[in-house]
Amino acid sequence: MATRITAGGALFPRLKALGVDCVFANSGTDFPPIIEGLAQAAEAGEDLPQALVMPHEHAAMGMAHGYYLLSGRAQAVMLHTNVGLANGAIGALNAACDHVPMVLMSGRTPVTEGGRFGARTVPIGWGQEMRDQTALVREAAKWDYELKFPEQVSPMLDRAHAVANSTPKGPVYLSLPREVLCETIPASGLDAAPLQRPVRIAPDAAALEQAATWLAAARAPLVIAQRGAGDAASFDAFGAWVADWGIAVSSWWATHLALATDHPCHVGADPGAALAQADVVVVLDCLAPWWPDRHPLRPGAKVIHIGPDPLFSRYPGRSFPADLCIAGESADTLPALIAEMGKHARDTDEIAVRRRRVGDLARADRDRTAAAARPRADGALTKAGVSRALGAALDGLPSAVFSELGCVLGALPRRDHRSWFQEPHSGGLGWCFPAALGARMAAPDRMVVATMGDGSYIFSNPVACHQIAESLGIGILVLVLNNHEWGAVRQSVRGLYPDGAAARANEMPLTGLGPSPDFAAIAGASRAWTATVRDEAGLAKALQEALSEVRTGRLALIDAQILPD
């Protein structure tokens, strides 16, 4: 066994010691010492994290994101100098917004112009030089550093991994100059225990007591939940707690599921009706819990913010009222709050009144949702209708749906922890497809669906994603809701100018995506199973066939031609 190893060769062994399963890599001319180290490790039969070839950096970032969402373990991404990092910057913004930890690394063009092993050779060594390469991702990264010496590999990876996984979690960035990667260090000690450990913030006891007092005495309490309810145990406990106390729950723009959509306390995606009545509002890990101009807060209502970073301090402007803030992971905070609530006596008559009020709100939402998803007489497809059909096809299957301007929660029933993920509120399009690929790698026994609009599918670099799926044998269902336009842009214009010229126009400027490409042909180029459907009957048949293909490890794509919203 070699007594020394290059710093580049030491990266993967150290990441293995930190618990990293996969390194999603898009390599470049800064990678030779890393690649040589991987080859040497393969010859020696060493067990290292999977080195996965990513044909596009955006796919690498999305896959690391999705892998974490299903596994709960932070992964690593390795990109090529400034140009690769630039392509990965959107993924870094998505991860930061979603509090997803990952160790992001990129090479740095050689510092020296000669006379040192690893110095610049071809012209890109000069062309890729930047004054501040880290600036490309600094606003998204919790921590950043440029490796100065080879012996820093272990301590800096340890620190990066610990900071990424500390509350609030998020991506970190490490820059890797090629000359440093080419230098050697002792091979011993790379499997040692981590030098540093993540910080997990415990919720404040006095704040929990105050929150429990307000909630126990409230006449119309409401929880607005956006980013789930913690882990599987706290998810279950949360559902039982709101049922016991008659607390309404709204999933406004929910990126993670906090409560089953058919739970008796789930009042739907729009918090407006419940918020108008609420005297105590719990904002559970919500970046933006309501629409300020559309959802007025009841005068005198108490607002409690709970989450890893309840004030979302990374964002300059966020002025939602906060009478009380409780910091901590939801998996810790919710059980602690539930336990504190257990110290309060419950007025059974008042709880019965609460439940009737919540039941009325929940039934009204279910009726609206069912009406929107009802099949049309002409059989044409709508977004809500496709969502209903997908829910029927997935009924009884352990599944996770990743949606990016695709199927909608409510019309698509979701009941289980980690069964629903929507695009991060950062809006970096193209997230859904690669995130679903990463999720299926992390949970191979779960049916994974990526559902997105046609614009989001184009943004995902679909040729790269399909190549990855075929190369790695990742079987997922890709369901494209194809309305031949930027539907979200159209809705935004109509929202601001409902009676304007653009709303009256036969073709709204800057929103059309016609003629639509043949998405089935794009997927078919990588030997995927495909179907293009235009009506309810065709969709139902295609969904069953597609799910059968996915079970064999083959990607299936359905291009569902839907009516514009």
- Last-in-domain residue among 339, 367, 395: 367
Give me the number of domains the chain comprises.
Answer: 3
State how far the Cα of 285 lies from the Cα of 373, in Å rounded to an integer.
29
| pLDDT value at 444 more than 80 | yes
User: For residue 264, how far is the Cα from the chain centroid?
Assistant: 27
Q: Which of 260, 539, 557 is nearest to 375 (CA)?
A: 539
Angle (CA) 433 439 441, round 5° = 110
- Average pLDDT for residues 158-185, to the nearest whole number? 97
Task: Return the bridge partners of 421, or none.
Answer: 256, 402
pTM above 0.85, yes or no: yes
Tell whether 113 and 237 lie within a shared domain: no
Residue-level pLDDT at 220: 97
What is the DSSP code string of 238-276?
A: HHHHHHHHT-EEE-TT-SB-SS-TTSTTB--S--HHHHH
- Structure confidence at residue 509 as a pLDDT band (50, 70, 90): confident
- Residues 375-408: pLDDT tens digits? 999 999 999 999 999 999 999 999 999 999 999 9
Residue-level pLDDT at 491: 83
Residue-level pLDDT at 496: 87
State how far the Cα of 134 lies from the Cα of 322, in Å rounded to an integer.
34
Tell whether 293 and 398 lie within a shared domain: no
| Sheet arrangement for strand 447-453 | 420-422, 399-404, 447-453, 477-482, 556-561, 529-533
State how far the Cα of 413 lies from the Cα of 32, in Å rounded to an integer.
49
- Last-in-domain residue among 301, 332, 367: 367
* Inside any domain, residue 332: yes
* Inside any domain, residue 200: no
- Structure confidence at residue 422 as a pLDDT band (50, 70, 90): very high
Tokens of 28: 């470049």
- Residues 225-262: pLDDT tens digits? 999 999 999 999 999 999 999 999 999 999 999 999 99
Tell whether 247 and 263 lie within a shared domain: yes
Percent of the chain with pLDDT over 90: 92
- Domain of 313, in residue numbers: 205-367
Tell whether 411 and 497 lie within a shared domain: yes
| pLDDT value at 333 more than 70 | yes
Tell whether 133 and 240 lie within a shared domain: no
**Helix axes of 348-373 and 232-245: crossing angle, nearest 10 degrees:** 110
Are 477 and 448 contacting, i.e. CB atoms less than 8 angstroms apart?
yes
| pLDDT value at 487 more than 90 | no
* Stretch among 33-47, 321-335, 475-489, 547-561 having the lowest mean pLDDT: 475-489
Tell whether 285 and 355 lie within a shared domain: yes
- Last-in-domain residue among 313, 343, 367: 367
- Average pLDDT for residues 37-62, to the nearest whole number? 96
Tell whether 159 and 209 lie within a shared domain: no
CATH code for position 52: 3.40.50.970
State how far the Cα of 386 lies from the Cα of 402, in Å rounded to an integer.
14
* Inside any domain, residue 32: yes
* Inside any domain, residue 193: no
Q: Which of 438, 530, 442, 537 is nearest to 478 (CA)?
A: 530
- Residues 185-194: pLDDT tens digits? 999 999 999 9
Tell whether 361 and 454 lie within a shared domain: no
CATH code for position 244: 3.40.50.1220
| pLDDT value at 1 more than 70 | no
Tell whether 438 and 551 lie within a shared domain: yes
* Inside any domain, residue 70: yes
* Inside any domain, residue 162: yes
Does 551 or 508 have the greater pLDDT score? 551
Tell me the pLDDT of the chain averaged across its residues.
96
Residue-level pLDDT at 493: 86
* Inside any domain, residue 478: yes
Residue-level pLDDT at 511: 81
* Inside any domain, residue 192: no
Tell whether 510 and 449 lie within a shared domain: yes
State how far the Cα of 477 lies from the Cα of 436, in Å rounded to an integer.
9
| pLDDT value at 89 more than 60 | yes
Tell whether 348 and 406 lie within a shared domain: no
Q: Which of 262, 302, 257, 296 is nearest to 279 (CA)?
A: 302
- Average pLDDT for residues 40-51, to the nearest whole number? 95
Percent of the chain with pLDDT over 70: 100
Q: CA dist 525 to 125, 217, 528, 529, Å?
A: 35, 61, 7, 10
Tell whether 386 and 422 lie within a shared domain: yes
Residue-level pLDDT at 485: 79
Give Dmax (Cα) for the chain: 83
Q: CA dist 442 to 70, 228, 280, 456, Å?
A: 6, 19, 38, 23
- Average pLDDT for residues 196-210, to the nearest whole number? 97
- Structure confidence at residue 346 as a pLDDT band (50, 70, 90): confident
Residue-level pLDDT at 366: 96
